[in-house]
Amino acid sequence: MQQGRDGFSSRFGVIAAAAGSAIGLGNIWRFPYVLGENGGGAFFLVYMAFILLLGIPLMLTEMSIGRAGQRNPYGTFRFLAPKTKWYLVGVMGVAAAFLILSFYSAVAGWTLQYLYDAIFNNFAGKSSSELSGMFTNFTSGVYTPSIWTLVFLMMTGLVVVAGVEKGIEKYAKILMPMLFVIIIILDIRAITLDGAEEGLEFLFKPDFSKLDSKAVLEALGQSFFSLSLGMGTMITYGSYINKKEKLFSSATSVSIADTLIAVLAGVAIFPAVFAFGIQPDSGPGLVFITLPNVFQQMPGGYVFSVLFFFLLVIAALTSSISLLEVVVSYFTEELKLTRAKATIVAFAGVGVFGVLCSLSSGPLKDFHLLGFTIFDLFDYTSSNILLPVAGLLIVLFAGWKWKRMSVASEILGEGIKENTLFKLFMFIIKFIAPFAITLVFLNAVGLLKL
Ligand code: PHE
Residue 323 predicted with pLDDT over 60: yes
pLDDT in the model for residue 1: 45
Per-residue confidence band for 139, with pLDDT thresholds at 50, 70 and 90: very high
Residues above pLDDT 70, as percent of the chain:
99
Per-residue confidence band for 2, with pLDDT thresholds at 50, 70 and 90: low
Which residue has a Cα nearest atom 10 of ligand 1?
A: 228
Other Cβ atoms less than 10 A from the Cβ of 249: the count is 12
Q: Does residue 397 contact residue 89 with C-beta atoms inside 8 Å?
A: yes
Stretch (H or E) spanning 256: helix 247-275
Smallest CA-to-CA distance from 112 within 152, 154, 156, 157 is with 152
State CA 116 to chain mean position distance: 23
From 287, 317, 322, 378, mutation site for ligand 1 pocket: most ligand atoms within 8 A of C-beta: 322
CA distance 220 to 418: 29
Taking the alpha carbons of 223, 226, 231, 236 in that order, is the dihedral positive or negative? negative
Per-residue confidence band for 210, with pLDDT thresholds at 50, 70 and 90: confident
CA distance 175 to 164: 15
Ligand 1 atom closest to Cα of residue 322: 10
From 226, 236, 263, mutation site for ligand 1 pocket: most ligand atoms within 8 A of C-beta: 226
Which residue has a Cα nearest atom 6 of ligand 1?
A: 228
CA distance 122 to 375: 27
From 31, 47, 110, 319, mutation site for ligand 1 pocket: most ligand atoms within 8 A of C-beta: 319
pLDDT in the model for residue 450: 61
CA angle in degrees (0–180, nearest 5) for 302-308-311:
140
| Weakest-pLDDT range from 253-257, 293-297, 335-339 | 293-297
pLDDT in the model for residue 175: 96
Amino acid occupying residue 136: T
What's the 272 CA to ligand 1 centre distance in angstroms? 26
Mean pLDDT of 256-278: 92
Q: Does residue 175 contact residue 318 with C-beta atoms inside 8 Å?
A: yes
Which amino acids bring their CB within 6 angstroms of ligand 1? Answer: 21-22, 24-27, 100, 225-226, 228, 231, 233, 319, 322-323
Residue 88 predicted with pLDDT over 70: yes
CA distance 256 to 245: 18
Residue 57 predicted with pLDDT over 80: yes
pLDDT in the model for residue 277: 83
Residue 445 predicted with pLDDT over 80: no
Side-chain half-sphere of 70: how many Cα atoms within 13 Å?
Answer: 9
What's the 229 CA to ligand 1 centre distance in angstroms? 8
pLDDT in the model for residue 412: 94
Residue 124 backbone phi and psi in degrees, to 5: -55, 135
CA distance 144 to 328: 27
**pTM to 2 decimal places:** 0.94
Q: What is the mean pLDDT of the chain?
A: 93
CA distance 370 to 190: 42
pLDDT in the model for residue 3: 59
- Residue 343 backbone zone (phi > 0: left; psi -120 to 50: alpha; other: beta): alpha
Q: Does residue 432 contact residue 53 with C-beta atoms inside 8 Å?
A: yes
